[in-house]
Amino acid sequence: MFVWLERRLFPSLRAAAPWRFGWFLLPLLPLLVVCFSCAPSVEDGNSDDLLDGTATPIKAPAPLPIPSAHKDRIDAVLKHVRQRDLFPDHAFWTIFHGILGVGPDDAMILDPTTKKRIKAIDYIADGGDVNGLEFVPTPDGVEVVTRPGSITYQGHQDQFVAEMAEWDLPRDKKFMVDGKEYTFDDFIRQSRAHASLTTKSFQGLDPLELTWTIVIVSKYYGPDYRWTNNRGEKLSVADMANYELHQPIADSLVCGGTHRLFGLTWAYYLHRQAGGKKEGVWKQVADIIADYENRAQQYQNPDGSFSTRYLQGPGNEPDVQLRIATSGHILEWLAFAMTDEQLRQPWVEKAADALALMVLENSFNNLDAGSLYPATHGLELYRARLWGPPGSHKLPIPPPPKD
């Protein structure tokens, strides 16, 4: 692990000093675990593999000129990322993150043989061969196989389904699984059925993640929904919110808790949109949202980027992949959570500008999927909230409450 981190974080220092210096990273290990647990790593094979853990890079177009105007910079990033083709031999993890970044209408897979492009979501739905993609029919629907910590397979329960839900993938979207036709609704029903407040996850050691499940159930069944899961356990969306509130946020090993905040915010905003009040567990969620918005500003770096320790404390590490990952994940949540007025505050504008600048300054590099695509999704949301979505894109997210 130290050798891999050495190669990724300190390439120039390593070139200057050919000996191993893994000992140097020991004091930084807790920070590195928090910051890299959500980013791509080498799962199998040679540690010189690419950052998305696959045999094919997310190829970068030619270097781009950097516009001076704020909005133009945002648009330049979004256009640039859409020009980065995905390939059939990219891992499933990489491909569905690509769909998250630019949306199911624009994430394209390029067949290197035919030179034809096809929507990545259609390639997946039509049963295309993708390393790490396993859909398994069950009595409740269709399960997406999860391997915790993987950057080839889905690494977190319900992550793929939730990310497609965030782009409002239709329930009747057809998927071919083992030669039989299913719909996206079969995936949704499976997510609802296996949600649990008591079941342990990986090897029975950790609490089950409901970070993505709460997005799916609250969106497709409503924020006040109650049901019985496939274990006979009665639960509700509010129960899931309470459960998630008692899991780590700033200390989370999954992208610094930004995904958990996104899920809680999503369910809360749908609750308020449906006429629900800010009381009980929902008052706690509202308070958590406000607290972490303040933390983002408090720990912001002078250049506008967010802390490289996410929301845990100040951090200003120089590694660009880490900076894009942390600033991108935080902006992704803020661009969804904040009101239009809050998003126009100078410190938020400075953060979006810093993130766009980092991507543009590295537009000629191969950037890892776990950094690039959440950052792109954040800039997509930010752009749409302030100036409307680019082109024909929709903004299928619940709006913040007015109080």
Which residues of the chain carry a pLDDT beneath 70? 1-63, 202-206, 391-393
Q: Are 102 and 372 in contact (CB under 8 A)?
A: no
Q: At 328, list the tokens.
A: 């991108």
Of 154, 166, 172, the C-alpha closest to 92 is 154
Collapsing DSSP to helix, strand or coil, 267 comes out as helix
Element (H, E) at 33: helix 29-36
Position 395 scores a pLDDT of 76
Element (H, E) at 182: strand 180-183
Q: Are 306 and 294 in contact (CB under 8 A)?
A: no
DSSP conformational letter for 200: B
Alpha helices in 126-212 (DSSP H): 159-166, 184-194
Phi, psi at 119, each rounded to 5°: -60, 135
Residues 6+ apart with CB under 8 A from 372: 58, 81, 84, 101, 324, 328, 359
Phi, psi at 146, each rounded to 5°: -115, 135
Location of structure tokens 């196989």: 145
Helix axes 159-166, 92-102, angle to 10 degrees: 20
Alpha helices in 299-368 (DSSP H): 320-337, 340-343, 346-361
Long-range CB contacts (within 8 A, 24+) of 111-118 = 112/87, 112/88, 117/85
Share of the chain above pLDDT 90, in %: 71
Which residues of 43-126 form beta strands (DSSP E)?
Answer: 108-110, 117-119
Q: At 332, list the tokens.
A: 């992704």
Residues 6+ apart with CB under 8 A from 87: 56, 109, 110, 112
CA dist 315 → 73, 306, 345, 394 (Å): 25, 8, 22, 34
Of 63, 53, 98, the C-alpha closest to 359 is 63
Tens of pLDDT, residue by residue over 193-251, are 999 999 877 555 567 889 999 999 999 999 999 999 999 999 999 999 999 999 999 99
65: left (phi over 0), alpha (psi -120 to 50) or beta: beta
Position 83 scores a pLDDT of 87
Position 111 scores a pLDDT of 85
| CA pair distance 342, 334, nearest whole angstrom | 9
Q: Are 64 and 363 in contact (CB under 8 A)?
A: yes
| CA pair distance 106, 17, nearest whole angstrom | 43
CA dist 171 → 189, 261, 369 (Å): 10, 25, 26
| CA pair distance 264, 255, nearest whole angstrom | 15
Tens of pLDDT, residue by residue over 326-372, are 999 999 999 999 999 999 999 999 999 999 999 999 887 788 888 99
| Single-letter residue type at 242 | N
Burial 72-92 (b: 16+ CB within 10 A, else e): ebbbbbbebbbebbbbbebbb
Which residues of 103-152 form beta strands (DSSP E)?
Answer: 108-110, 117-119, 135-138, 141-144
